[in-house]
């Protein structure tokens, strides 16, 4: 049976996770979600690389044992994976016994092939790479080509691996399997490196204590890259009697094995790793996919450069899906991309709040207002069926080729088609002319809702929370979709539709950047709710005069991030009210909208502007983000609310 296995690099534990680590993990999550959605048996592995000199040093600097440092960082990874809903099937740590057993089994096979020998090892050593370089690879100052930091001349007696012997077989493999390295341009790079000749590789260290003891060489530990690369098979049970996953996902003629990595570690994956496997007589990975770097200020984001991007603030404000979407949409897979908060906010507002969020809420509102739920039938002959067919074919091809931005564009074309269809068919007019029972109205809205549902299915690998929310909006279970959901006509009929908050409330970029100021203005936000058991008499409630009102004018209060000045129609009376909703709503979203206001509140001045009432909003999430209460458009302004 055809199976699919995808891995991320295992990350070092001397650094906390940042955008680069999250990126490769999200990519692998998106790909494996897509394969699962297509019904393929899939396995997704990630984990941590915990041995070596750098970890030893970092732990010593903190005055704790290396394993304690590793435990801490692993916990951060677990937290982060929960936040981003990463669906990995396994998490390997190189300090686990199962890994050590597998490494020993791999070393035994390489030794049996006669590919190890002992010799004196000298060279220019970069302790960040944990690798030796030849003189010609360094600049005149003898600096590491990856880190641009000083290398040191090192000399020790080591176990060597006969890498030189594999130059020919590797070149032959690249020739016969051009899919071995992606993107294609990188294969040429790797092949040219191998053609330049390969030196044998030192694979034991006597100066390092923190590692797996090298079998048969007391006092030596296994070179950290031989140890680390083996994780891809040790996690499957290689070297243990429990090796079912290894036989299903690695050593199987129809197993597809893909390593997702950054281009910084391509040589280790496309030269050393296949050479170890060739020597051990084991199958090679199908593809090593080396993506580009996230840059900030034109430099690779990394701890050593000191320009790391950690997503915490953006995720707290806009949710994990917005961040997942940004990563997948902004980087052309394989090339470098720049990260900036501005780029994030632009994409958020244009793609998520506007295109996706508005389409969903518009179609949902039309269904709810017309039928109180989903339409009573799903029609099959309309232009959205064709638009879906085209989008799905393009999406599938792009996903298979790991062209994520192109796959998202295909889904966006479907959303644009749905929007255009709604505008052209004017269902609100049909409802007025023919009534809510009109067969035509049901057909138009079912095509639109079905288009939105299918877009949500195709988006589910990218934005799993959001797609579940869309299913819920259209009366379905909030569950991850399966292969059978990706077909026209699965929208439930006459299903009740709950009213949910907007998927992606519009972000005010200026407000985000002045968050500090916004925090200090929190006095202007609505008072906390009374405790639930603090009951009042009906007369008390009747003292509060609640009225519907239509917003006539909306403009931001100058120098405030939260406050919006509104002029509302209270049924013939024009009132000025100041509301703390500017971080969530744009003025153009408010004008013409019906709201509920407290009409008999004593006047108050907020940032120098007089407010004569209060607009009611639900307070959502821990941050208490206001979501305005909806009043149907046909309720006249000034109506009593009781």
Cβ neighbours, 10 Å, residue 469: 17
Alpha helices in 435-586 (DSSP H): 439-459, 464-473, 509-513, 515-520, 538-542
Count of residues of this chain found to bind ligand MSP when the rule CB under 6 A is applied: 21
Q: Determine whether 129 is an active site residue.
A: yes
Q: Per CB under 6 A, does 229 bind ligand MSP?
A: yes
Based on CB atoms, which residue is closest to ligand MSP, 93 or 368? 93
- Residue 491 CB, nearest approach to ligand MSP (Å): 39
User: How many angstroms separate the CA atoms of 415 and 355, rounded?
Assistant: 7
Q: Per CB under 6 A, does 186 bind ligand MSP?
A: no
Residue nearest to ligand MSP as judged by C-beta position: 20
Based on CB atoms, which residue is closest to ligand MSP, 10 or 271? 10
Cβ neighbours, 10 Å, residue 32: 26
The single residue of 99, 300, 442, 550 carrying the catalytic annotation is: 300
Q: Determine whether 300 is an active site residue.
A: yes
| DSSP-assigned letter for residue 122 | E
Burial class (CB in 10 A: 0-12, 13-18, 19+), 540: exposed
Q: Which of 4, 5, 6, 9 binds ligand MSP (CB under 6 A)?
A: 9
Alpha helices in 44-124 (DSSP H): 53-62, 66-83, 97-112
Q: Determine whether 21 is an active site residue.
A: yes
Query: How is residue 122 written in tokens?
Result: 């000298």
Q: Which residue has the tokens 């707290």?
A: 316
Q: Compose the 28-67 pattern: x for residues touching ligand MSP by CB under 6 A, - for all others.
A: ---------------------x------------------
The single residue of 51, 129, 367, 550 carrying the catalytic annotation is: 129
User: How many angstroms separate the CA atoms of 351 and 342, rounded?
Assistant: 14
Query: 132: which residues sit within 8 A by CB, 6+ positions away?
Result: 121, 123, 124, 125, 126, 154, 202
Q: Per CB under 6 A, does 293 bind ligand MSP?
A: yes
The distance from CA 15 to its chain's CA centroid, rounded to whole angstroms, is: 20
Ordered DSSP codes for 197-229: ----EE-EESS--SSPBPTT-TT-EE-HHHHHH
Q: Which residue has the tokens 């997503």?
A: 311
Helix (H) or strand (E) holding 30: helix 19-37
- Residue 21 CB, nearest approach to ligand MSP (Å): 5
Q: Per CB under 6 A, does 99 bind ligand MSP?
A: no
The single residue of 121, 126, 269, 442 carrying the catalytic annotation is: 126
Kindly indicate which of the ranges 180-188, 242-250, 295-303, 375-383 contains the residues binding ligand MSP, using the contact rule CB under 6 A: 295-303
Q: Per CB under 6 A, does 300 bind ligand MSP?
A: yes
User: How many angstroms separate the CA atoms of 304 and 302, rounded?
Assistant: 5
Beta bridge partners of 289: 182, 260
Based on CB atoms, which residue is closest to ligand MSP, 303 or 406? 303
Based on CB atoms, which residue is closest to ligand MSP, 132 or 412? 132
Based on CB atoms, which residue is closest to ligand MSP, 238 or 585? 238
Q: Determine whether 602 is an active site residue.
A: no
Burial class (CB in 10 A: 0-12, 13-18, 19+), 120: exposed
Based on CB atoms, which residue is closest to ligand MSP, 302 or 448? 302
Q: Which of 4, 21, 32, 388 binds ligand MSP (CB under 6 A)?
A: 21
- Residue 222 CB, nearest approach to ligand MSP (Å): 13
Q: Which of 332, 315, 331 is nearest to 323 (CA)?
A: 315
Q: Which of 302, 315, 299 is nearest to 15 (CA)?
A: 302
Kindly indicate which of the ranges 215-223, 296-304, 420-428, 552-560 contains the residues binding ligand MSP, using the contact rule CB under 6 A: 296-304
Based on CB atoms, which residue is closest to ligand MSP, 43 or 300? 300
Q: Which of 282, 304, 443 is nearest to 374 (CA)?
A: 443
Helix (H) or strand (E) holding 160: strand 152-161
User: How many angstroms separate the CA atoms of 547 and 468, rounded?
Assistant: 35
The single residue of 51, 99, 121, 144 carrying the catalytic annotation is: 144
Q: Per CB under 6 A, does 294 bind ligand MSP?
A: yes
Segment 251 to 270, residues that bind ligand MSP, using CB under 6 A: 261-262, 264-265
Q: Which of 228, 278, 422, 615 binds ligand MSP (CB under 6 A)?
A: 228
Based on CB atoms, which residue is closest to ligand MSP, 81 or 294? 294
- Residue 14 CB, nearest approach to ligand MSP (Å): 8
Q: Which of 3, 4, 6, 23 binds ligand MSP (CB under 6 A)?
A: 23
Q: Per CB under 6 A, does 22 bind ligand MSP?
A: no
Based on CB atoms, which residue is closest to ligand MSP, 49 or 480? 49
- Residue 274 CB, nearest approach to ligand MSP (Å): 13
- The three-class DSSP label of residue 597 is strand
Q: Per CB under 6 A, does 233 bind ligand MSP?
A: no
Instruction: Assess whether the previous peptide bond of 183 is cis (omega < 30° from 0).
Output: yes
Q: Per CB under 6 A, does 302 bind ligand MSP?
A: yes
Spatial contact of 104 and 340, defined as CB atoms under 8 Å apart: no
- The three-class DSSP label of residue 557 is coil
Q: Per CB under 6 A, does 11 bind ligand MSP?
A: yes
Q: Determine whether 126 is an active site residue.
A: yes
Q: Could you tell me the CA-to-CA distances from 119 to 166, 201, 224, 544 in Å, in that order?
A: 19, 11, 19, 89
Q: Per CB under 6 A, does 325 bind ligand MSP?
A: no
Q: Which residues bind ligand MSP (CB under 6 A)?
A: 9-12, 20-21, 23-24, 49, 228-229, 231, 261-262, 264-265, 293-294, 300-302
The residues that are catalytic are 18, 21, 126, 129, 144, 147, 300, 303
């Amino acid at each position: 049976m055809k199976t699919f296995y995808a891995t991320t690099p295992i990350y070092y534990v001397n650094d906390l996770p940042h955008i680069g680590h999250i990126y490769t993990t999200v990519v692998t999550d998106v790909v494996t979600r897509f394969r699962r959605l297509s019904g393929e048996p899939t396995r997704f592995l990630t984990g941590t690389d915990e041995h070596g000199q750098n970890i030893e040093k970092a732990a010593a600097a903190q005055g704790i044992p290396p394993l304690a440092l590793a435990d801490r960082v692993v916990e951060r990874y677990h937290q982060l994976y929960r936040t981003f809903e990463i669906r990995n099937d396994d998490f390997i740590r190189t300090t686990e016994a199962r890994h050590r057993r597998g490494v020993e089994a791999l070393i035994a096979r390489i030794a049996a092939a006669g590919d190890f020998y002992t010799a004196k090892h000298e060279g220019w050593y970069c302790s960040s790479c944990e690798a030796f370089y030849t003189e010609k690879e360094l600049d005149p100052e003898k600096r590491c080509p990856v880190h641009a930091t000083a290398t040191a001349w090192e000399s020790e007696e080591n176990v060597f691996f006969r890498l030189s012997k594999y130059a020919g077989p590797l070149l032959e493999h690249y020739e016969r399997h051009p899919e071995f390295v992606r993107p294609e341009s990188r294969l040429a790079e790797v092949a040219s490196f191998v053609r330049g000749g390969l030196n044998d590789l030192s694979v034991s260290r006597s100066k390092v204590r923190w590692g797996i003891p090298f079998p048969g060489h007391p006092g030596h530990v296994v070179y950290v890259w031989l140890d680390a690369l083996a994780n891809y098979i040790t996690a499957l049970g290689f070297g243990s009697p429990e090796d079912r996953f290894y036989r299903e996902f690695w050593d199987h003629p129809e197993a597809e094995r893909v390593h997702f990595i950054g281009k910084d570690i391509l040589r280790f994956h496309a030269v050393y790793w296949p050479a170890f496997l060739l020597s051990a007589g084991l199958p090679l990975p199908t593809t090593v996919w080396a993506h580009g770097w996230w840059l900030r200020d034109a430099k690779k984001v990394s701890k050593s450069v000191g320009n790391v991007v950690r997503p915490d603030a953006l995720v707290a404000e806009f949710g994990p899906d917005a961040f997942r979407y940004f990563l997948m949409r902004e980087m052309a897979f394989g090339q470098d991309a720049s990260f900036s908060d501005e780029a994030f906010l632009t994409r958020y507002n244009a793609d998520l709040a506007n295109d996706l969020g508005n389409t969903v809420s518009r179609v949902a509102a039309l269904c709810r207002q017309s039928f109180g739920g989903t339409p009573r039938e799903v029609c099959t002959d309309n232009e959205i069926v064709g638009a879906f067919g085209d989008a799905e074919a393009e999406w599938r091809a792009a996903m298979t080729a790991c062209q994520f931005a192109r796959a998202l564009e295909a889904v966006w074309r479907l959303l644009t088609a749905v929007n255009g269809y709604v505008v052209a068919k004017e269902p609100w007019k049909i409802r007025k002319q023919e009534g809510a029972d009109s067969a035509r109205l049901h057909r138009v809205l079912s095509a639109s809702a079905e288009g939105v549902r299918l877009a949500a299915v195709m988006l589910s690998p990218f934005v799993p929370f959001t797609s579940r929310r869309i299913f819920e909006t259209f009366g379905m279970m909030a569950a991850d979709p399966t292969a059978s959901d990706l077909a026209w006509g699965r929208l439930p009929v006459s299903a009740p539709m709950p009213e949910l908050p907007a998927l992606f409330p519009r972000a005010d970029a200026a407000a985000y950047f002045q968050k500090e100021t916004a925090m200090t203005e929190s006095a202007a936000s609505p008072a906390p709710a009374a405790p639930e058991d603090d009951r009042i008499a009906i007369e008390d409630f009747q003292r509060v005069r609640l009225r519907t009102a239509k917003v006539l004018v909306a403009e931001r209060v100058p120098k405030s991030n939260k406050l919006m000045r509104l002029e509302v129609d209270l049924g013939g009376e024009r009132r000025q009210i100041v509301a703390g909703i500017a971080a969530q709503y744009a003025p153009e979203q408010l004008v013409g909208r019906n709201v509920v206001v407290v009409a008999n509140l004593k006047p108050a001045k907020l940032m120098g502007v007089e407010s004569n009432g209060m607009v009611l909003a639900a307070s959502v999430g821990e941050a208490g983000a206001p979501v305005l209460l909806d009043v149907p458009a046909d309720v006249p302004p000034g109506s009593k609310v009781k």
